[in-house]
Structure 1
Amino acid sequence: MSICTTDRNKHLCSLGSEVPSSQEHDQKKQHILQKLDQLKAELDHLCRPCPWDWTLFQGNCYFFSTFQKNWMESAAACKDMGAQLVVIKSNEEQSFLQRTSKKKIDFWMGLSDAKEEGQWLWVDGSPLQWRKYWSAGEPNNHDNEDCAVISNHGWNDFSCLAVSFWICKKPVLPCSK
């Protein structure tokens, strides 16, 4: 005898019919998981010129570190990410970096005179072309400072053994169609 035949149980039976069986539940769960896998695959194929935690500016990707290392360790960290410590090539790039570092935090850049005092070279081997971004009185080589940092107030020479945040730079990734 069915419990749904009595008037008293009809309400319970109608509620019970709305509750999916465990088989229906498993089918719905499987369908949702398949849709999720499809969405993940589509996201993986989206073209992003820069990795998710990098910033795009004028055809290059910039990574602003969230922890500190010395200059050599920072250069190695950039290399491990397929990049290099930032080499500043234009006034626009300098302005972008200063705006981005507006919290008065110093960031290592790829500039050093470690090979020969006073001969500032970028990590790509190119010489420093202009000196207008040095802070007043810098570079001063106080206590053998051979590596450069950028902040919102200009450039400064620091000891390469000091720890600071750093900025990596690499070209945008090409999108494959």
Structure 2
Amino acid sequence: MLAALSENIKFITPLLTVLGWGFVLYNTNRSSKRSETRSQCDKCIDKLEKLISDSNKYVKKKNKEKEVKVEDLNKNDDYDYQDTIRLHLMSLEQRSKYLKKRTANNFICLDEIAKIRNLSVNYTNYEEIEEIALDMIENIEETYNECFLYGIRNILHNVLKVIGWTCFWVISGVLVIYTLV
């Protein structure tokens, strides 16, 4: 039996090496995917915060203009407001599609983007826009946490990772001890 084991040991070592590298590459890919997704989520959150900020600036400007004569008001400001909001929303849609393609999860609900686009027609809806944007930020964070931190898939992955590494090191140790003997 020891003779048969010693003949097969020269095949087991390369096999374990290949399996070990496969496991390392899998974890590296998973880690880079998580990092890239976090980066895209942060950019989406920044866009939403910028949308809220721009909306608030516009409303403050409009409130100041109410004190000015009606003839002095610039009617193009309303279109500028809508264009600014729409530019932020276009960027969010692109990032949402990318995140969906990369992770197969919806981080941003496109219905909420449509609601904001419809509400941006009138600047007096800025409170509703702000509320929807804050809900979207919360949804992005929850989806990220579910996908990469607290989801059942992630828990199973971590358990399997521990079991896999334990088996790998035990088998490697046994082989090292066997080859030394």
TM-score normalized by the length of structure 2: 0.29
Tell which structure's C-alpha radius of gyration is larger.
1
Larger helix fraction of residues:
2
| TM-score normalised by L of structure 1 | 0.29
Q: Between Structure 1 and Structure 2, which shows a larger proportion of strand residues?
A: 1
